[in-house]
Amino acid sequence: MYDNNKDLKTCLARCGSPAFVTSDLQSERLGTLKREFMEEQATLMEEFDTERAMLIEQHMQEMNDLQDIMFAMEQNFNERENEAKSDFHSMRDEIKNKVPISLVTFKVTK
């Protein structure tokens, strides 16, 4: 009777079939909802990407700051260690020089 679906829809539209009108309204409504959903999804994705980029940048900055702090702490530790070694060697040499030679030879011969 009808060659294709388009002819059927045309006939139903002329006839004013409630089923077709309801179906057409539903299709239009679904199309509108889909378009609104896609727009909101695009907005959310853009906001997410912006926030993600900001967090990555903040993370990198904090990592650089921590590396700087660790480097400074290592330098401070090395300086203190070298100072302590220097003090130890100075004190040892000072003690060696204060001890009379006779005691040193006495301990060695004993």
The stretch 44-53 carries a mean pLDDT of 98
SS3 string, 25-60, reads HHHHHHHHHHHHHHHHHHHHHHHHHHHHHHHHHHHH
Confidence label for 2 from pLDDT (cuts 50, 70 and 90): very low
What the block records as the tokens of 35 is 């378009």
The yes-or-no verdict on residue 89 having pLDDT over 60 is: yes
From 20-24, 55-59, 98-102, 103-107, the region with the lowest mean pLDDT: 103-107
Percent of the chain clearing pLDDT 70 (strictly above): 70
The yes-or-no verdict on residue 15 having pLDDT over 80 is: no
d(CA 13, CA 28): 15
